[in-house]
Amino acid sequence: MKALLTSAFAVICLTTTPHLHAADTSAASKKIDELLAAGWRKQKLQPNAPVGDEVFLRRAYLTVAGRIPTYQEATAFLKSEAPNKRAQLVDALLDSEGYTHHFLSYWSDVLRAQSVGVAGSTTAQNYLNFLRDSLKTNKPYDQLARELVSSAGTCFDTGAIGYYMRDRGMPLDNLSNTTRVFLGTRMECAQCHDHPFDKWTQKQFYEMAAFTHNMTSGSYRSTSADETNKMIRADKTLDKETQDLMRQAITEVVRPLRDTQVVQNKAAIRLPHDYKYSDANPKDAVPAAVMFGKPVEIGKEIDHSKAFAEWLTSPENPRFTNLIANRLWKKVFGLALIEPLDDLMDSSTASNPELMKYLEQQMVALGYDMKAYLRMLLNTQTFARESIKEVGMGEPCYFQGPVFRRMSAEQAWDSMIALISPVPDQSNWSARERERVESEKRHLLARMLDKTEPALLYQAAKEVAGAMRVQNKEFDQLRKELDEARAKEDKAKISDIQRRLGQSQRILRETVSRCFHAAAEKSGNAEVKQMLAEMSGGGEMEMAMMNAMETPRLEVRERDLEGALKERFLKDAEMLGYKDEKSRKGYEGYLKTLHQTWVRAAELPSPAPRGHFLREFGQSDREVIENASDEASVPQALLVMNGSIGSQITSGWSALMLNLLKAKTPEGKLDVLFLSLYSRQPSDSERALLRQRLESYAGSKTVWEDLALAAVSTQRFIFIE
């Protein structure tokens, strides 16, 4: 390692942490090659030829880090003379931030994790952060699956509850998703009737669903707020309108805590009313039972979801290990040994059964360590062979090399980010910080409501109810005026009324915050007052609760540049000749805001909005498991050529353009262009052709920008060779 760190190759490892206590998988890598070779001999096939360092470098980056290498990374690796530099590269990539970004995008697709559009934003973000941290710390896969399937509590306790929140109100769909994601078994058909193509019955489906049917997703259950609602119902002196308004007041104060809790109820699951088979009657209660493998003992004191999670992730489960071994094989080699990998049946057969069995054994032996398993695959000779250009639809693949395939939407976007940003793997720190502050404030609100005496909350609700009664009349009048203005198409009046409605709504939130703050301040609990002070964020104490209801803002430009970004700024500013304060501030501001928009796909809102590069290139909407597309289209090419991503790549401050600027000759610029995009130097024929192009573009000020845009639109760029 010391020799590595003193060589030019060290630049590749600058953003990684040292790989400690890595499992030795070299013998297993050789065994995989042997088993593949036996399969080739049986099929009378020849292995593909080994690839050079250029192809290996780009393939490894795209497979592990999900992007192409930067110009500096490519140059350093290709110049390195370290005898085992490929294995060192694999280790560095597995320990990099790039690995976390890439595999978060992948697992978010599998688990349908979204930051927008699903449940409360706090739970959605905490779910993604849970997955991100699990990948970053290399949590064993079986542990990750257990934590997801047995998760309960609030999102402040664990972001894993997002797994159930994702299917809130749809427990049967959640069971179907669980068996597909973790067992490769499609049971959704058995939800309504016996499976028409497999052996599963409708009753078996309900027996499986009985384990997790009672995982109920909903809003935070504040003990004091619940007690307050009981007091409202019990108070016979209140008229119905007042009771309703008081309950609305309680709802308003806990609104920021909606969809933040999963609880396990105890009611039995029952067969549907139209159940038509002879083995049970409609509406019969169904006891929990597994459909294959070792039976699970269920008693009154046993947590059903935890018992189910233990069975699901057991090495003895005949499908759990098979699926993850197959899934990660497909991530590395492009196809699974069993296709489709998430529709396993008793009749399913791997293209190389001996290899499939060995991979399962290794997954168990490695303790479901996904990085160790990937290292084993990446260090095979087979991964370093020329790709298979075509595999017939429905035909088995024997993996004489990896499968030639198109980049995913995330890989394409992230590769272009590597051409834009000098630090392409940086996190969207301002978004992460907003999420952290928001989550902490929401948690404070939950704890404060729990600690405040119900009698005080009751009085606050009564005061808010009085304000609501007055305000509702104003709302009704404004809505009536709005309807009239719309009928007359009076745009000015419509805008004014909408502004007044928004202002009135804000006044209501302020009233709720002020009244419940006053109630909490009267509490005899010292913890409550301390939490109120923290919640106010240094502002007015009366607005403490309102602060918890709103998304915090951060001034990105006020934060100083740090680390690699600061070092890059100082070097580039000098190279660009920026000596005046205005020019330096402009470039510094550009670098500071890169992390918000021009950042890895995993650091952006997910799924991206319609029309965004990621969606146009086939990013999953994450409504269905692995719903991405890799189909090409004309709009994709137009988006690169005419969209904002293309203009960013060719802007004067992009990483690519700055590297081209540093090269002083046309030949040197050609080398920079090819190493940046293709991780190799141009061939003699390519160089000769491009010289002609450069001559024909003599005098053009945008020749390199035009060449860069043309290059990123080619199949050679968008495919993983």
Least confident among 434-438, 602-606, 703-707: 434-438
What is the C-alpha separation between 90 and 85, in angstroms, rounded? 9
Inform me whether the pLDDT recorded for 625 exceeds 50: yes
pLDDT at position 554, please? Answer: 62
Give yes or no for residue 272 having a pLDDT over 60: yes
Query: d(Cα 28, Cα 297) in Å, to the nearest integer?
Result: 37
Range in 180-184, 335-339, 625-629, 695-699 the model is least confident about: 695-699
User: What is the share, in percent, of the chain residues with pLDDT greater than 70?
Assistant: 93
Q: How far apart are CA 354 and CA 368, in angstroms?
A: 20
Cβ-proximal residues to 524 (8 Å cutoff; 6+ apart), any chain:
453
Average pLDDT over residues 626-650: 90
Write down the pLDDT at residue 548.
54
153: three-class secondary structure by DSSP: strand
CA 395, CA 386: separation in Å to the nearest integer?
20
Q: What is the mean pLDDT of residues 449-453?
A: 90
CA atoms of 199 and 350, how far apart (whole Å) = 20
pLDDT of residue 12: 47
Average per-residue pLDDT for the chain: 88
pLDDT at 56 over 80: yes
In the prediction, which pLDDT does 380 show? 98
For 59-77, write each residue's pLDDT tens digit: 999 999 999 999 999 999 9
pLDDT of 421 above 50: yes
CA distance 202 to 312: 20
Q: Residue 399 pLDDT more than 60?
A: yes
Count of CB atoms situated within 10 Å of the CB of 431:
18
Specify the 3-state DSSP secondary structure of 50.
strand
Please write the tens of the pLDDT for every residue from 477-518.
888 988 998 998 889 998 998 998 888 888 888 888 888 888
Instruction: Write out pLDDT tens, residues 248-268.
Output: 999 888 888 889 999 988 888
In this prediction, residue 533 has a pLDDT band, given cuts at 50, 70 and 90, of confident
Q: Phi-psi category of 153—alpha, beta or left, where left has phi over 0 and alpha has psi -120 to 50?
A: left
Query: Which of 32-46, 121-135, 529-543 is predicted least confidently?
Result: 529-543
What integer pLDDT is reported at residue 19 of this predicted model?
46
CA–CA separation, 428 and 596 (whole Å):
6
What integer pLDDT is reported at residue 21 of this predicted model?
53
pLDDT of 545 reads 56
DSSP 47: P
Structure tokens at 37: 């070779």
420 contacts 655 by C-beta, under 8 angstroms: yes
Element (H, E) at 406: strand 405-406
Does the structure show a pLDDT above 50 at 15?
no
Per-residue pLDDT reduced to its tens digit, 335-393: 999 999 998 888 889 999 999 999 999 999 999 999 999 999 999 999 999 999 988 88
Strand order of the β-sheet with 261-264 is: 153-154, 261-264, 215-218
pLDDT at 2 over 50: no
Q: What does the pLDDT read at residue 455?
A: 93
pLDDT class of 40 with cuts at 50, 70, 90: very high
Mean pLDDT of all residues in 127-133: 96
Model confidence at 176, in pLDDT bands (50, 70, 90)? very high
Return the SS3 of 290.
coil
Judged against a pLDDT cut of 90, whether residue 408 lies above it is answered with yes
In this prediction, residues 150-155 reach a mean pLDDT of: 94
340 cis-preceded (ω within 30 degrees of 0)? yes
Polymer length in residues for the chain: 721
pLDDT at 16: 44
Q: Are 456 and 519 in contact, with CB atoms under 8 Å apart? A: yes
Confidence of residue 547 (pLDDT cuts 50, 70, 90): low
In the prediction, which pLDDT does 523 show? Answer: 86
Statement: residue 1 has pLDDT above 80: no
Range with top average pLDDT, 82-91, 285-294, 481-490, 686-695: 82-91
> In the prediction, which pLDDT does 440 show?
86
pLDDT at 537: 58
The one-letter code for the residue type at 144 is L
Instruction: Write out the two tokens for 11.
Output: 């630049």
Strands, E, within 183-323: which ranges?
A: 215-218, 261-264, 269-270, 285-286
- For the segment 576-589, the average pLDDT, to the nearest whole number, is 84
CA distance 91 to 376: 11
What pTM does this model have?
Answer: 0.90
